Structure 1
Amino acid sequence: MTAQLPTAAAAYVRTINERDPDGFIALFAEDAVVDDAGREIRGREAIREWAAHDIFAANVTLEVRNVSGTDGDATITGKVDGTFDRTGLPDPLIMTFRVAVDRGKISGLTCRLAAG
């Protein structure tokens, strides 16, 4: 389904699913901010560390279920899988990812459990 996603959102999904940490971090602006379920990660280097631990070390995959928005502001809803601790998480784990883009780079990413 990544072919139907806006460009930055498609690249976000592709770099996660292809386990491409260098490609992943290249998508982000130097001063980008990630809000991962209320935990704020600021700047490309902090995002690199977060992604290394929370995405790539945990073998996260993202199966896109829905997408809305535009290339500058897209929201992806998808099923998340991987080898992370699932204690207290719903099964299946469905999350939303809001990808905000400015000047061709991700300036903001918000990750949340999907509503109901």
Structure 2
Amino acid sequence: MPEVPTPVRRLLDASNAGDHTRFLDSFTADGAVDDWGRVFRGRTAIGEWSAAEFIGKQVTVAPTSVTDTGEGTVVIGQVGGNGFNGPSTFTFRVDGDQVSLMTIRE
């Protein structure tokens, strides 16, 4: 299994620790979350989404598979917390040392 890129690892570690500020700091200034087609762009929008649906639900992600597609990193992980629980697919695009896009699907 390929290694999780450092910016993605930092984002997942922040989420798993419930660290909202560190989670938001993991994104580029114009970063975005695409949660099943609902796109939240920028720190404020991502923060509001996360407070309601991600860190606010104590989401944890335990990677079970990592694939580098050349255009991004696909992490299949077991999601836990006080919302959705089960396997989910996250695709990350990285820009420098931050995440520019996190896409969530099944």
Please list, as runs of the form range in 1=range in 2, the aligned pairs for 1:1-116 lying within 5 A after superposition: 4-69=3-68, 73-84=72-83, 86=84, 93-113=86-106
Distance in 2 between the 1:11 and 1:33 partners? 16
Aligned residues: 105
Structure 1: stretches of 5+ with no match in the other structure: 87-91
Structure 2: stretches of 5+ with no match in the other structure: none
SS in 2 for 1:57: helix
User: Which stretches of structure 1, 4 residues or longer, exceed 3 Å deviation after superposition?
Assistant: none
TM-score normalised by the chain length of structure 2: 0.88
- Offset at 1:24? 0.4
Q: What letter corresponds to residue 13 of structure 1 in structure 2?
A: L
Q: Are the counterparts in 2 of residues 8 and 99 from structure 1 also a CA contact under 8 Å?
A: no
Distance in 1 between the 2:70 and 2:97 partners? 9
- Offset at 1:104? 2.0
Larger Cα Rg: Structure 1 or Structure 2?
1
What percent identity do the matched residue pairs reach?
33
CA RMSD, 1 decimal: 2.0
Change in Cα spacing, 1:21 to 1:71, as seen in structure 2 (3 Å) is: farther
